[in-house]
Structure 1
């Protein structure tokens, strides 16, 4: 022990620990090791509404109560504007995230409908409805037929930029085949419209939702990159080419509305 205490490195480490203690104690050391390295900051805690009113938290990361999101760092909810995993987030004074889109829960599946299995955070999958249906019509159809058709996504976007939540993010949706479904905490359908102003609202919500969820689940903001082991945002066309299926969405509909694949990739990476 005496030999160790006389070693110059011992005094350097001791000085560093004392400095960290003065700057913020164990919490700051824990933050440096875990949060900055991404070990704990990418955790998502699925909680009750009461938890989001707590003053202190034992773990860092995202907290979600089914409607509201908060991000905890140093055991407290963040407020103001912060960039997390490459995405800028805004938090109100009460610590709840100010979403860059509006959510409608009218067509949300019950706990007895669909799957409650947790998905692995590997892909965000982008779809379009595939017919002339609006976002609201697509959401209503999924609500009515999720179990009988065994088909639905977590969200449907449309009807002037509304985000219809069908099943909580983080759960397996039935939208792209077994392997894709198990590895996609979020799948998003885009409803159709022939009105260009309405499309612009839909498209902005579609991209904002994908970016928002990719940041939360620590999924890269890249579109259709690599093979099945490459994390990122994927189109249903990519899923058909690399995993299973014969779908080509959402590129046909987007092209008709004036948005190329390159534009979509740019907007997902950079936002608006």
Structure 2
């Protein structure tokens, strides 16, 4: 029988964890074996479908952190453990984890861009000996927008973790962010000049976030002397079908859903939208 790649499968919600007022992490029963950085097409019958990054995974489950921002995600927000979502995938190319082995890995994530790299961080948190060093730079709008606070606290026990916010929240402080993380105000690009880089040849960088954030963060690292081929980014762009058929994600001749969403910067710099 020919497999129908457009046919979704049912995935039971095992757990639901609140991250912020708008963001929830869903753990779904799933036998897929994704690669860090891939995405799924998530649907609700009679409502619609949307692409969502896989934030973490393990034996028999995947996790996705979903922000309530539209019709489909508003429908998902009403679901509870025991309910079902419908999934297609995983799709796309992920992060080349072996390229980071025995290197100084720097992960710069803005806002919900922390979700697609969460499984990368957990991979190396479980096996820190695979890296020479790891630093996590994260930026959010306000302290109440910070994702994965308990994970940031956990990661900071092994890696250097910095959290910056564009502005303080109504309480005027940073206390709601994990205690052991370095906390600042300002854009994520303000963190990069203070990063210690003993050897440029050893550094590998992952940048995920809004397009403007990725553009200027990459520029900051290039100004530090980092080679373009040692930077990876992840695009999130109208990946409606996941199969390179609808063309909504296409930039020039590149289908983001097929060749991405993870790109080496040598390719990403040419993808002007």
What band does the TM-score fall into relative to the shorter chain? Answer: under 0.3
Relative to its length, the structure with more strand (as a share) is 2
Determine which structure has greater relative contact order: mean sequence separation of CA pairs < 8 Å that are 6+ residues apart, divided by chain length. 2
Largest Rg, 1 or 2: 1
> Normalising to structure 1: TM-score of the pair?
0.26
> Normalising to structure 2: TM-score of the pair?
0.26
